[in-house]
Structure 1
Amino acid sequence: MALAREHWLSPAAATAEPTGWRARLELAFAPRHGRTELVHRRHEGPLRVQRSFHPEGGPCHSYLLHPPGGVVGGDRLALDLEVAAGAWALLTSPGATKLYRSLGAQSQLVQTLQVADGGTLEWLPQEQIAFTGARARSLTRIELQGGARCIAWELSCLGRPAAGERFASGQYRQGLEVWRDGRPLLLEHGRYAGDGQVLDSPWGLAGWSAFATLVAAGAGEAEVGAVREAVTGVTGEAGVTLLGDLLVLRWRGPGTLAGYRLRERAWAALRPALHGREPCRPRIWNT
């Protein structure tokens, strides 16, 4: 398995004495006996995967678990995932990743997702919530080879708007990268400081507390039009663009529930068009 991208970590964080949990999870999916199976699983520390499900036949649905239930200052979590040619993996999580207030140490989450030519990945985790006072970095790097297919989604929420809590202090850095054959298709990095200008400025979040990005490889103008139509009326502000054959949907809005509705509509428009299958909701989303 490839190692997580340590370049995202600051030199000080990479060499500092451990102050929190260290966890790494390696997963590999490959075709076996007419369907996709989880053929490699190795973990260190509190990062696991539940048993896999096949609710629609060939594709393999797996749920990522972080048993502590939250991330505190100094924690470092890494996921390394590989999808082989001919395999189809859908990854989600049973709940939000909570980034709690830190007394000073920074937490790190790095996910490296590799998809071979002929493989299919659907990356649909639940949201990351940065509590006020959190100090956290999160990076998801998707590496596609050849004609690999991928629909990926990341949703973040700053503070807890339902409880009236603003992201008043701390810092949250979030990155999403998509590469194909070693060349970048999308490099998106954001830095959100508690009570900083980015929270309220029109060029930032414009007062909204949540934001999301969805990407889909292998798309064209038809898919752009379908997604634009599908997300019309969703609360918040959304925009859809095409970078080569990578569809990019960006959204900012009032909270995670509106983000979920956006995800459902966009996924319902894209999955049949790009992957030839109707959406099959992971059953964990119903709990």
Structure 2
Amino acid sequence: MVAVKSAQKEIVIAPALQRARGVGRIATKQGNGRTRLDTLFQEGCGKIRLPNTHSPSLEAVLINTAGGITGGDHLSWSAEVAPDGHLVLTTQACERSYRSTGDFGRVETRLQLGAGAHLDWLPQETILFAASKLARKLDVDMAEGATLTAIESVLLGRDAMGEDAADALLRDNWRIRRNGRLIHAEATALRADPAERRSLSLLAGNRAFATVLHVAATPDQAEALCAQLRAMLPEGGAIGASATGERLVVRAMAPTGLALRRLIVPVLIELTGAGSLPRLWHL
């Protein structure tokens, strides 16, 4: 804090705090029956790495070298999948949203899928710490015949430390379009209200939750996948699946992050284009 005295009054100037900025963009092309890298751009704390795999799909790992997100930070990711391509996007580790003394930290993701393409959006869990503020936005534009599997999961504090992040704030907005037509929209908000944590219609005391969205090529495919998933979901688990049109939505809750993974990993394996998860997902 710097104080500047003038003839009439003292003006207090707050210091400009350093904030993380990161941008990562990737685009694919098709060649010899494989999805290959076309363009790659990275800036600031946003990095993208391409591990070697034995799959015809292309796998990319998104990395935030800042080590987490706090108030005023801004991360922007975007990906474009060529027609008939298959791209898998994941993260190096769980993202962490740390205490903020002011603004929300922002993470914005934009995905574009060509005709007949498939994209697996598989970031690992986001951990909300006490007094954190996080605003996320996911925008997806899909061409005819394209399919998508996407997940966002949240942990309220760290299991091993007994944290519950009771005052954490979250804003999460999804918009999915096919040929410019909105086919899925949802908004999630945590407002540090104790009723949100205890209510049977909300978190019911759980500290981990996830939404999985699969957009199939046709409504019939979505219905068939939904019936398949319902047959394999564990009895008594806080997890359910529903299909509307070409959309299949799975929502799950659990008391811990490990318990949540046990619920959602079998679901993701069934819905991903490769039928398996990236190696970084294996504990």
TM-score (norm 1): 0.86
Paired position in structure 2 for 1:226: 228
Q: Find the aligned partners of 1:259 and 1:84 in 2 and give their Cα distance.
A: 33
Q: Find the aligned partners of 2:223 and 2:20 in 1 and give their Cα distance.
A: 44
| Match of residue 142, structure 1, among 115, 121, 140 | 140
Q: Out of 258-267 and 35-44, give the one that drifted further.
A: 258-267
Paired position in structure 1 for 2:243: 242
> Residue 123 of structure 1 aligns to a residue in which SS?
strand
Paired position in structure 2 for 1:5: none
Residue correspondence of structure 1 range 1-287 to structure 2 within 5 A: 20-56=19-55, 58-218=56-216, 219-233=221-235, 236-271=237-272, 275=273, 277=274, 279-286=275-282
Aligned pair in 2 of structure 1 residues 94, 42: CA closer, same or farther (>3 Å)?
A: same
CA contact (8 A) 2:35 2:58 kept: yes
CA contact (8 A) 2:269 2:277 kept: no
> Residue 79 of structure 2 aligns to a residue in which SS?
strand
Q: Find the aligned partners of 2:228 and 2:202 in 1 and give their Cα distance.
A: 26
Deviations 1:238-282 (A, max 9, x none): 1111120111101111122122222321123334xxx5x5x2332
1:205, CA displacement in angstroms? 1.0
Give the aligned residue type for 1:21.
A
Q: Find the aligned partners of 1:247 and 1:103 in 2 and give their Cα distance.
A: 38
Deviations 1:78-97 (A, max 9, x none): 11111110211011112100
CA contact (8 A) 1:38 1:52 kept: no
1:165, CA displacement in angstroms? 1.2
4+ residue segments displaced more than 4 Å: none
Q: Out of 187-196 and 60-69, give the one that drifted further.
A: 187-196
Give the aligned residue type for 1:192.
L
> Residue 197 of structure 1 aligns to a residue in which SS?
helix
**Corresponding pairs, count:** 264
Q: Find the aligned partners of 1:155 and 1:175 in 2 and give their Cα distance.
A: 13
1:231, CA displacement in angstroms? 2.4
Give the aligned residue type for 2:21.
R
Give the aligned residue type for 2:29.
A
Q: Sequence identity of aligned pairs in percent?
A: 30
> Residue 203 of structure 2 aligns to a residue in which SS?
coil
Q: Find the aligned partners of 1:182 and 1:109 in 2 and give their Cα distance.
A: 23
CA contact (8 A) 1:217 1:246 kept: yes
Paired position in structure 1 for 2:7: none
Q: Find the aligned partners of 2:158 and 2:175 in 1 and give their Cα distance.
A: 26
Q: Find the aligned partners of 2:192 and 2:159 in 1 and give their Cα distance.
A: 14
Deviations 1:162-195 (A, max 9, x none): 3211222231112233221122222111110224
* RMSD between superposed Cα atoms in Å: 1.9
Q: Find the aligned partners of 1:242 and 1:285 in 2 and give their Cα distance.
A: 26
CA contact (8 A) 2:239 2:263 kept: no
Q: Find the aligned partners of 1:54 and 1:123 in 2 and give their Cα distance.
A: 17
Q: Find the aligned partners of 2:280 and 2:188 in 1 and give their Cα distance.
A: 29
Q: Which has the higher strand share?
A: 2
Q: Find the aligned partners of 1:179 and 1:230 in 2 and give their Cα distance.
A: 29
Q: Out of 191-200 and 95-104, give the one that drifted further.
A: 191-200
Aligned pair in 2 of structure 1 residues 232, 145: CA closer, same or farther (>3 Å)?
A: same
Q: Find the aligned partners of 2:222 and 2:167 in 1 and give their Cα distance.
A: 41
Any gaps of 5 or more consecutive residues in structure 2? 1-15
Paired position in structure 2 for 1:14: none
Aligned pair in 2 of structure 1 residues 30, 259: CA closer, same or farther (>3 Å)?
A: farther
Q: Find the aligned partners of 1:268 and 1:169 in 2 and give their Cα distance.
A: 33
1:136, CA displacement in angstroms? 1.1
> Residue 175 of structure 1 aligns to a residue in which SS?
strand
Any gaps of 5 or more consecutive residues in structure 1? 1-16
> Residue 124 of structure 2 aligns to a residue in which SS?
coil
Give the aligned residue type for 2:276.
C
CA contact (8 A) 1:213 1:250 kept: yes
CA contact (8 A) 1:230 1:269 kept: no
